Amino acid sequence: MLPKGLGILVFLGLATIPALAQVSISPMASKTASVRPAFQHAPMKFHLVRPDGSVESANWSGYAVTGSDFTNATGSWTVSAVNCTKTPDTYSAFWVGIDGYSSDTVEQTGTIGWCNGKKAEYYAWYEFYPAGSVEISSVPVVPGDQISAEISFSDKEFTTTITNVTTGKTYSKTETVSGATRSSAEWIAEAPCCTSKGYFLPLSDFGTGSFGLDYTSVSDTNYATDSGKKGISGAIGAFGTKSQKITMINASSVDEAVPSAISSDGSSFQVVWKSK
């Protein structure tokens, strides 16, 4: 199901997608391991609706579900190794969040694989967009780690929690977010932002990103709760027509990252890297 007003954005997306071409990272983003580039994990940049009803985006790939009063979203994934020989100076983020599909904020937590030149680096982070992301040094991650994450809302505050299931390390952060509509929940592989010109960063070759119970053995995962009057609580598949498949494309409308269908139990899917 497309968010309200998205039909108008079909035309806007066609006009603006070249401006979001993924280009080489700005020299301001240091290649020194001790200094991280300043990433943001922005709301979805919509491009168009495909004939099958799924959506194209310049920066997201995965699934979103829509509603009116989301109070919880959980997710799990395996940290994918990035191929920095093939795609140096590139970036890929995996996260679960609330908002951002059709709104201006995103409350989220996840992991990133960064090709610092040809050296791979990985870390966990949280972000209450439009504030910048914050690295979580107390929860180190490496390829193959199983990650569990949750976003919850209560008493006007959002709490992000991320756990490295493999190591047992965990971290939570609570903040208020002005203007949050709680109109969607998402499970996303992403090209972060931004270059010095405000473009999305080039996408790392992460191979295959695997989300959900079938791949992580984390129970009650890839679930969301919409507490509205007609709300739904359950796995992605339980949302039916309110669930939206998202494919990431580049400025030439070539697929960059493609999600699979949702598994038969409604909880799991994979995203396959295609190009940067």
| 25 domain-assigned | no
Backbone angles phi, psi at 58, to 5 degrees: -85, -15
Q: Determine the residue type at 128.
A: F
Domain of 48 in residue numbering reads as 6-17+41-273
Confidence check: pLDDT of 212 > 90? yes
Pairing status of strand 55-57 against strand 243-249: parallel
Confidence check: pLDDT of 28 > 70? no
pLDDT for 24 equals 35
| 28 domain-assigned | no
pLDDT in tens, 242-274: 999 999 999 899 999 999 999 999 999 999 999
Region 94-100 average pLDDT: 98
| CATH number of the domain that residue 175 is part of | 2.60.120.700
Mean pLDDT of the chain: 89
Whether omega for the bond prior to residue 43 falls within 30 degrees of 0, making it cis, is no
Q: Percent of the chain, pLDDT > 70? A: 86
Give me the residues paired with residue 193 across strands: 40, 200
Alpha-carbon gap, residue 110 to 202, rounded angstroms: 18
Give me the residues paired with residue 114 across strands: 91, 121
Alpha-carbon gap, residue 77 to 96, rounded angstroms: 10
Q: How many CA atoms lie within 13 A of 11 on its CB side?
A: 3
Pair 209, 94: CB distance under 8 Å: yes
Pairing status of strand 233-235 against strand 91-98: unpaired
pLDDT for 196 equals 81
| 49 domain-assigned | yes
Q: Determine the residue type at 218.
A: V
| Helix (H/G/I), strand (E/B), else coil: 39 | coil
Q: How many CA atoms lie within 13 A of 22 on its CB side?
A: 29
Region 3-24 average pLDDT: 39
| 33 domain-assigned | no
| 31 domain-assigned | no
pLDDT for 262 equals 97
Backbone angles phi, psi at 109, to 5 degrees: -150, 145
* Least confident piece of the model among 8-12, 91-95, 96-100, 133-137: 8-12
Higher pLDDT, 38 or 90: 90
What pTM value is reported for the model?
0.89
| Helix (H/G/I), strand (E/B), else coil: 237 | helix
| 26 domain-assigned | no
| 32 domain-assigned | no
Confidence check: pLDDT of 217 > 50? yes
CB neighbour burial string for 151-161, b if at least 16 within 10 angstroms, e if fewer: bbbeeeebbbb
Alpha-carbon gap, residue 155 to 157, rounded angstroms: 6
Number of domains in the chain: 1
pLDDT in tens, 122-160: 999 999 999 989 999 999 999 999 999 999 999 999 999
| 181 domain-assigned | yes
